[in-house]
Amino acid sequence: MDLIGRVERGGKLLRAMLGPERAERTRQAWREICPDFEAYVIEFLSGEVWSRPGLDLRTKSLVTVATLAAMGRPLGLELNLRMALNNGATRQDLVETLLQIAPYAGFPACWEGLELAQKVFRALDASPRATGDDSPRDDSNAPSPDPAT
């Protein structure tokens, strides 16, 4: 796939995983500090790695959460905890994934990951929507709560 196709695919996937508003804020932060970093993330990470077939987005998210927690990367971990929830992982999936790293990466890595997960869960619980995406949703296609309507 050509560069433009990877950038379009990567941008679309990031918006789907983070929500449009959070994706744009994140990209803007990367652009402000280093435009090349934003380009690498969108073109390669989102446009190539995350777009590969073979594993679904939920599984990719759980692998990424485990890796970032084991490496002690809190900025990436916080972002990917939110993305994992948007990609179909449950809170329990995330807790179990973080617990699984304890014997391999160390109990401190597990503990720090769990603390950060709890911070993300609390922030989501305090927001109007219990999701990683804080952008408005179009619920026009949502089923009506009353079957008669």
| Cα separation, 67 vs 72, whole angstroms | 9
| 138 has pLDDT over 70 | no
**Residue ranges per domain, the chain?**
1-52, 55-133
User: What's the pLDDT score for residue 149?
Assistant: 30
For the chain, percent of residues with pLDDT exceeding 70: 85
pLDDT tier, 141 (very low <50, low <70, confident <90, very high otherwise): very low
Alpha helices in 19-130 (DSSP H): 20-33, 35-40, 57-71, 74-86, 91-100, 102-105, 107-126
pLDDT for position 129: 64
Q: Is the pLDDT of residue 120 over 70?
A: yes
Q: Give percent above pLDDT 90 in the chain.
A: 80
Cα separation, 31 vs 29, whole angstroms: 5
Q: Is the pLDDT of residue 146 over 60?
A: no
d(Cα 96, Cα 117) in Å, to the nearest integer? Answer: 11
Class of the domain covering 55-133: mainly alpha
Are 21 and 62 in contact by the 8 Å Cβ rule? The answer is: no
pTM: 0.80
With H, G, I as helix, E, B as strand and everything else as coil, classify residue 139. Answer: coil
Q: What is the overall mean pLDDT for the chain?
A: 87
Question: Is pLDDT at 134 greater than 80 in this prediction?
Answer: no
Q: What is the pLDDT of residues 32-48, one digit of tens each?
A: 999 999 999 999 999 99
Whether pLDDT at 29 is above 60: yes
Integer Cα distance of 11 and 139 in angstroms = 23
Q: What is the C-alpha separation between 83 and 58, in angstroms, rounded?
A: 9
pLDDT tens-digit readout, 44-70: 999 999 999 999 999 999 999 999 999
